[in-house]
Structure 1
Amino acid sequence: MSFEYTPPKYAQLIAELERRIDSGEYLPGSLLPSEHQLMAEFGMARPTVVKALGVLRDQGWIVTHQGKGRFVRGRPAIPTGQQIRTGRELLDRKEVQVSSRLLAAEETEAPNRIASYLGLKSKSSVLLRRSLIEHDGEPTEISSAWLPVEVAQGTALAESEELKQGLRRYVESAAGASLDHIIEHVTARNPTKEECGLLGVKGSAALLVVYAVACDATGKPWVVVESVLPGDRHELEDAYPIR
């Protein structure tokens, strides 16, 4: 069975700018076109262009000089241990800085997988924060954070207001511990009835589900972040050195 995959708009812009840098059309040290120029050329909204440029900056393709603009660096070398991973991005993402709708901030019974990741007994109570993420008006992700109730109670994590800082900062403050590492699990499955409605997909659609378990230096898990992604709107890519 064949199907046609169309990457999100920001991913298309990233790919095109990377191509232009690789081909020498945009030489190292040259000034990158402005946000407004890119918006006009590609017919994209400013948030889409800003997201693409942010990814290129984080990956080392371009550099920003305050008051001067963005400049080309060239194809980046792969830095050992410094690549931003999916789980890290989920922990550091600020709810107020993405186009999202908070769906839940409530105490609930932990699903078996979540209870296992957090080292809790079956059917233990957890605090769930869940949001629907959109890009260009299209739902692209359901993001959920699961924490032990005793960690989240009485903090901003339990309130129905968007978090102004990344989840990591709130969890570390509430737990009185520093998050040291993340263990990621990636699975694929069909959507639930609720996910079909939120993401606008059919029951036969394939979903990518990323679980990021954030632990302290002793290995104790403090929070699980779950990202549910429609398989036809995303692809996961990673790069790392061969030793």
Structure 2
Amino acid sequence: MTEDTYEVVAAELRTAIDAGDYAPGQQLPSGPKLAERFGVHRGTVYKALETLATEGYLTLEKRRPAVVRERPRERMVVRDRVVYRDEIGYFFDQNAKNWRPVKPPTHRIGPPPNHVADALGTNRGENVLIRERIMAPPDAKRGLQLAISYLPLWLVAELPVVGGSNTGPGGIYDRIEEHFDQPIQWHETIVGRSPISAEQDALVVPASASVLVITRAARVERDGQSLVVEVNETSMPAEQFAVSYSVARDESAAWRGPAR
């Protein structure tokens, strides 16, 4: 091999990890030992390890051997773009219907991220109510979704129950719909990015991983004005989730009928 064959080294290590030769939590041999094993320069090995870390196979720390991450053999959850309801209340993921918090949910007052403040229509740096939950299947060993809701304080003043620990049957969405006597309208934006420190801790993912973040804004109408009453951000390990949805036709793309 030569120094530009890091892809070959990455492929062999990837195959070994997928085959179970290296178990989750196990350290790989050191960089010098891998370089000797593959007959390549150390820089080639480090580039291969960085590639596997980006793919979610490894966790890298300075001056320590790479550690194999726990990875699913296939995607665990395929999210669709439909809201559902059961006896507990609304939920946005049919495949995660039975998921529950892995620890007691928390709520506090604090400033939201700037893009959330913009969506809520509050001033940047202004405090809001922050409700946080770490969700997972009943038998999961760690959290798989970090769900954070941000609510403006004017809403909490009007509807104090949304700021408490017990928001009642149906949760904050039922309370909001009862208060405004109308159905909530939701709009979502999905992005992929590197995890912030809170996501790394909650989801047990390294900084080198990627997360899928769904930002959902809840709107109601009052006196002819559209109000954002909550912004929810749900973060999840990107390697374990996919998003599935039907593609709707615009009028401009209407079927023209059989060819003549």
Does the CA contact (< 8 Å) of 1:132 and 1:142 recur in 2? yes
1:145 to 135, 144, 149: 149
CA-atom RMSD in angstroms: 3.0
Q: Judging changes above 3 Å, is the alpha-carbon distance between structure 1 residues 114 and 10 closer, same or farther for their aligned structure 2 residues?
A: closer
1:126 aligns with 2:128: yes
**Per-residue CA distance 1:125-173 (angstroms, 9 max, x = gap):** 2111110001231311001111111212463321224753143212223
Equivalent AA in structure 2 for residue 223 of structure 1: E
The Cα of 1:120 is off from its aligned counterpart by: 1.1
In the alignment, which residue of structure 2 is the partner of 1:222? Answer: 229
Count of residue pairs the alignment pairs up = 169
Q: Judging changes above 3 Å, is the alpha-carbon distance between structure 1 residues 173 and 7 closer, same or farther for their aligned structure 2 residues?
A: farther
Does the CA contact (< 8 Å) of 1:92 and 1:167 recur in 2? no
The Cα of 1:226 is off from its aligned counterpart by: 1.0
CA distance in 1, matches of 2:84, 2:239: 21
1:92 aligns with 2:97: no
Q: Judging changes above 3 Å, is the alpha-carbon distance between structure 1 residues 10 and 188 closer, same or farther for their aligned structure 2 residues?
A: closer
1:209 aligns with 2:213: yes
The Cα of 1:10 is off from its aligned counterpart by: 6.5
The Cα of 1:179 is off from its aligned counterpart by: 4.1
In the alignment, which residue of structure 1 is the partner of 2:5? Answer: none
CA distance in 2, matches of 1:173, 1:162: 12
**Per-residue CA distance 1:13-64 (angstroms, 9 max, x = gap):** xxxxxxxxxxxxxxxxxxxxxxxxxxxxxxxxxxxxxxxxxx9xxxxxxxxx
CA distance in 2, matches of 1:203, 1:168: 33
Does the CA contact (< 8 Å) of 2:177 and 2:184 recur in 1? no
Q: Judging changes above 3 Å, is the alpha-carbon distance between structure 1 residues 165 and 110 closer, same or farther for their aligned structure 2 residues?
A: same
Secondary structure of 2:212's aligned partner: strand
In the alignment, which residue of structure 2 is the partner of 1:196? Answer: 200
Structure 1 gaps, min length 5: 12-54, 56-83
In the alignment, which residue of structure 1 is the partner of 2:73? Answer: 6
In the alignment, which residue of structure 1 is the partner of 2:29? Answer: none
Does the CA contact (< 8 Å) of 1:6 and 1:233 recur in 2? no
User: TM-score with structure 1 length normalisation?
Assistant: 0.59
Does the CA contact (< 8 Å) of 1:210 and 1:227 recur in 2? yes
Runs of 4+ in 1 over 4 A off after TM superposition: 1-5, 8-11
Does the CA contact (< 8 Å) of 2:167 and 2:175 recur in 1? no
1:172 to 174, 177, 180: 177
Structure 2 gaps, min length 5: 1-50, 56-70, 255-260
In the alignment, which residue of structure 2 is the partner of 1:107? Answer: 109
Equivalent AA in structure 1 for residue 236 of structure 2: L
CA distance in 1, matches of 2:187, 2:77: 27
CA distance in 2, matches of 1:9, 1:122: 36
CA distance in 2, matches of 1:131, 1:5: 23
1:236 aligns with 2:238: no
Equivalent AA in structure 1 for residue 112 of structure 2: A
Structure ID, larger Rg: 2
Moved more, 221-230 or 187-196: 187-196
User: TM-score with structure 2 length normalisation?
Assistant: 0.56
Identity of aligned residues (%): 17
Moved more, 231-240 or 216-225: 216-225
CA distance in 1, matches of 2:211, 2:77: 20
